[in-house]
Structure 1
Amino acid sequence: MPASNALTEHVGAIALPSDVVTQVDAALAATKKPLCTPRPDASLLRAKLAAGATTAAELLRSPQTAIGPGDAALVGQLVARVVERRDVVLDGDADVLLDQSVSPRRGHVCVPGSLVVRGDLRVVAPLVVCGDLDVSGMIVDCGPQSVIVVLGDVNCRVLRTTGEVLVYGSLRASGFVWGYYNDNVLEVHGTLAAPVIMADDHAIEAGTIEVVHRPPGRGDWGADIFDMGRAHRHALAALVRDPAVVIDGDVDIEALARLARPWAS
């Protein structure tokens, strides 16, 4: 099996042209009106540029725990305007890790095109993809340090998120989508499609939702999303193909994510 790839090393430093500030207004105009997340603050971006930021990674850094998804999307729109498109294809698993042992801190990645990962993608630091994101395995993040922004579409087998995920296009998962923890949001402006969508106290907003399996009765997050309360958990357990994944009527999400075909029907 191929070794895991540190995405920072494959993308490298994305240098910005000296006149990049002249494109901030156009980049702001290209950002979409949020469904629920805060709007980007162009003044913060201009302040970073005025302070001498010369790379995309520097624009993604924040004195707070992590940059907000709207501000990260604005950085992506700016990079898409001023940097030549470059797609990245990786064989094997990939990581976006936050390395605080060096200065400046590594781990803030902006891909100036599409990203293909032929394996799993683990994200523990801000990641912006200016094109599409195609992951053959799982996408796993780690809020609040992680922020994932994709200006195109996302395709994956499983999305397991505890952080901020903002997708301007559509997101399609062949296995399932699972959101956990109540301080962050999965926001998809196009279609959010998966056989099963689960929200364990995690906000999910989408332009359109397409699912194969719905929970019995409308839950906390609408008619299409399993809210992981007792009734919905038991209904979910009844759908699982492998009984070893079900323990005392409850579903082991970690084990479920490893199944190539998780659902019985």
Structure 2
Amino acid sequence: MHVQVDRARERPITTDCSISKQEDCAARVTICQGRERHHCATCADEAGYGADVVRSQKQSPGRADDIVATTIEFITENGVGQLRTVDIAKRLGVSTGLIFYHFETLANLVEHAFAVAAERDLTQLRNTLDSVANESVLDRLRAVLRHYGPTGNALGWRLWIESWSAGLHDENLRKVVKNMDSQWRQTVAMLIAEGVGSGEFHTPDPHGAAWRLTLLLDGLAVQSVALGGAVTTEEIHRWTEDALRNELGLPAPSA
């Protein structure tokens, strides 16, 4: 299942407004700034969105995507708490009005950015599975856990630690994070169940084993990323291997 990205607030521009310039300005702005699925260039400018709105629609159809990508980058570098609309506007060389035109509020932009980041991370997970499709189930599980953990190539644990914090106060964001977390854990549980079926793994509870393994990596990620390397990469690898053997009944490594 893919993360659903809500694009309802990315409004296209028409070249003309349904109310002529001779009619009352307040009425014109009310219609154009409401939740109608249209917006004219003239009223965009008069409502304070500026010429950037027109340029973005005519010259750069992906402008909203650029805003999202820059927001993800900023949050990863500086955290959600430091995010201001003006910072994103400065990085892109656009007005803050353009950002509000696409997303209406900073909260909407943050939710959208995390949803896009989650989908990218899940795409990387699928690519990882594809790259080891012909390997043993143990090697596939190791590849997934390596990618999931703080030593892997996932989008970035700094971003997801930020999402946990921000999600405490934002139900929509919390749903995005829970969905991504659930899909990772389901993948781990699926691989463990496959290994049990083939006789390679030995556990009566693949679901519980998946929870315990991913929770271990969650905790190690916080220690490694949020606390400035409190644990080393070598320790993360060794403890993950120990957990795999204990959870799945694997033989001890040969001396």
Higher relative contact order (CA 8 A, sep 6+): 2
The TM-score, its normalising length taken from structure 1, stands at 0.29
The structure that is helix-richer by fraction is 2
Query: Bigger radius of gyration, 1 or 2?
Result: 2
